[in-house]
Structure 1
Amino acid sequence: MGLAIDASCDLPREFLQQHDIAVMPIAVRVDESSFKDDRDPAEIERFLKLKLGSRSHSAETEPCSVEDVQKLFLDKLVLEKDCVFCLTVTATRSPIYDNVVKASFAVLKNYRKMREPAGITGPFLMRVLDTRSLFVGSAPCIVEAVRLIQANESPAAIRERLAYIAENSYGYMLPRDLYYLRARAKKKGDRSVGLLSAVLGSTLDIKPLLRGYRGDTTPVGKVRGWEHGCETLLHYAAERVRAGLLVPVMCTAYGGDLSELPKLPGYDKLAQACEDCGVTLMQAPMSITGMVNVGEGAVTIGFAAEEHHVEF
């Protein structure tokens, strides 16, 4: 069994390579610069070095198409695996999930034409799952999928468990630049961040804490000051670790030089909580797609936990 994800799911490149996880790329174009977002650290570094920053809100992104997914599977994955789970960003924020579902019909119809000449017998299974979150919020589902595959669970059992984890996955983000976030949201027709919020955020240095949960992305709190915001978010993450997680991993991502992430206020306490509780603390650079959509410098966390009330 194998896994495939889209490039917006924030996980370390080393983790993806270690577990042979295929990445469905997203094409990004900013002015005259083009990028293939496939979680390649070199490509992320090139994006950051070009300092496209404030101009990126007008970028064009092209999520992997139905044809791209078909090609990836029929040319490669059906020859390497017997069953592949595709985990994608929430369908409420991107067409990727729908594209993969559409592609799966052609893959399941035509895979024998590819496998039989290669001497591969038996059926091929393709299962598509909406993680119900986005960016690093999708990561706990993927980490759990790896564990289940390593435990030799059946495809039916894996699907059932991943659906439960997806329903209980949380992704939180502290954006650095509300004007950028609003400009990008306006371009995409997303009214979730209004002009008033952007103006207030700039004038009073008030930042929203945004949450992706069960397909919905909404502000769930606000904090004054960037550093205080980081400390508030990471302190909350440490509290969730100590309260107990459904998947023993706390995933973090940063929209910039990853070496800056451990220096943020509150990160040391989160690291200590993870060490005390036997929870893996992951660090990943935010995808190019993520930075284009929310701006550079965003801090994000992702975890899976039982439903709970939160106040910031």
Structure 2
Amino acid sequence: MSVQILSDSACDLPEEILDEYDIDILPIIVIKDDTEYLDKVTIDPKELYDNMRAGQVYKTAQIPPKMFEEKFEEYAAKGEDVIYIAFSSGLSSTYQTSVLVRDSLKEKYPNINIDIVDSKSASVGFGLLVHKAAQMAKEGKSKEEILKMLDFYIEHIEHIFTVDNIEYLFRGGRVTRTQAFVGGLLNIKPILDMPEDGTLRPIEKVRGRKKVLSRMIEIMEERGGQADLKNQVIGINHGDDIEGAMKLKEMIEEKYGCTKFVINIIGCAIGAHSGPGTLSVFFLNEKYEEQ
């Protein structure tokens, strides 16, 4: 029996990948005023970004325990093997909640077979983990083999991204009001990454959009130069800026000869905090060897 891969909407994988590999997705809650929406179910990213440009402010909330309970019980009742890959615990309480709910079901379903993995990742960086796990599950790999791969990816996945408007980082508490004001005046584009704890960390400040893309390509070489970038699946996503994403793809192709990409719009769970115009690239800093 194959392993079922379950994840949440913050993985930002394209629908065609979710369908091809039968990846089950739980939606994160997105809130505007007092109204709750389900990420990519009752609100789509384009609507969110258009409204953010018009001044609307969105918040997000973790997946409710009841939603986890219903989904986990669905699989437990059928005795299925499941791996739930969760949005980074450094950015959300989703992982912790899922563990509590799974453990609470053990009395009713003592043989429940749901492994929960903290991705310590976000967006398509998170999505690359989910994608690889689902590929391995479809190939008939064991749960132990998939979990071993996930450990490697979590340790070695790199997230390099920039935002077009630093104001959105201020709203999310990532920069001060003064930094946001000065950054806006000077056209400062911050570059951020995700350290091992799965949080966000500003690492550099670059002036101007063209220079920031060039610097992101340089960082790829600094961090992934020994990782066989050419043969990796490279993740790219964007905050309603497909032109910027394709420019980034072309630069990566030209510099490293990469041919395999997963490219998608950033969903509402992440986009509510990063804003329109965000661009991200994801890759491994070490080569993964199939066992």
Q: If the length of structure 2 is used for normalisation, what is the TM-score?
A: 0.85
Cα distance per residue 1:22-66 (max 9 Å; x no partner) = 1111121223664310x45972233334x2336444x23221122
Q: 1:126 to 1:306 in 2, by over 3 A?
A: same
* Residue pair 1:135, 1:171 contacting (<8 A) in 2 also: no
* Aligned counterpart, 1:281: 261
Q: How does 1:1-312 map to 2 (within 5 A)?
A: 1-31=3-33, 34-37=36-39, 39=40, 43-49=44-50, 51-53=51-53, 55-57=55-57, 59-75=58-74, 77-78=75-76, 82-111=80-109, 123-185=111-173, 192-214=174-196, 215-234=198-217, 236-237=219-220, 243-245=226-228, 248-258=232-242, 261-262=245-246, 264=247, 266-272=248-254, 276-277=257-258, 279-306=259-286
Q: 1:92 to 1:170 in 2, by over 3 A?
A: same
Q: 1:32 to 1:258 in 2, by over 3 A?
A: farther
The letter of the residue matching 1:226 is R
Q: 1:239 and 1:283 mapped to 2: Cα distance?
A: 22
User: What is the CA-CA distance between 1:79 and the residue it aligns to?
Assistant: 5.7
Q: 1:282 and 1:41 mapped to 2: Cα distance?
A: 24
Secondary structure class of the residue paired with 1:157: helix
Identity score, percent: 20
* Residue pair 1:27, 1:36 contacting (<8 A) in 2 also: yes
Structure 2: stretches of 5+ with no match in the other structure: none
Judging by fraction of residues, say which structure has more helix: 1
Q: 1:259 and 1:14 mapped to 2: Cα distance?
A: 21
* Residue pair 1:137, 1:303 contacting (<8 A) in 2 also: yes
Q: 2:78 and 2:223 mapped to 1: Cα distance?
A: 38
* Residue pair 2:8, 2:26 contacting (<8 A) in 1 also: yes
The letter of the residue matching 1:198 is A
Query: RMSD between aligned alpha carbons?
Result: 2.8
Cα distance per residue 1:209-233 (max 9 Å; x no partner) = 0001312321111211023212322
User: What is the CA-CA distance between 1:286 and the residue it aligns to?
Assistant: 0.2
* Residue pair 1:132, 1:169 contacting (<8 A) in 2 also: no
Q: 1:252 and 1:174 mapped to 2: Cα distance?
A: 12
* Residue pair 2:227, 2:284 contacting (<8 A) in 1 also: no
Structure 1: stretches of 5+ with no match in the other structure: 113-122, 186-191, 308-312
Cα distance per residue 1:62-84 (max 9 Å; x no partner) = 21122211112223x34667211
Q: 2:225 and 2:202 mapped to 1: Cα distance?
A: 24
Q: 1:168 and 1:104 mapped to 2: Cα distance?
A: 27
* Residue pair 2:217, 2:252 contacting (<8 A) in 1 also: yes
Q: 1:208 and 1:193 mapped to 2: Cα distance?
A: 10
Cα distance per residue 1:131-181 (max 9 Å; x no partner) = 112222212211221233234332223222211211111112101111221
Q: If the length of structure 1 is used for normalisation, what is the TM-score?
A: 0.80
The number of equivalent residue pairs is: 283
Q: 1:19 to 1:111 in 2, by over 3 A?
A: farther
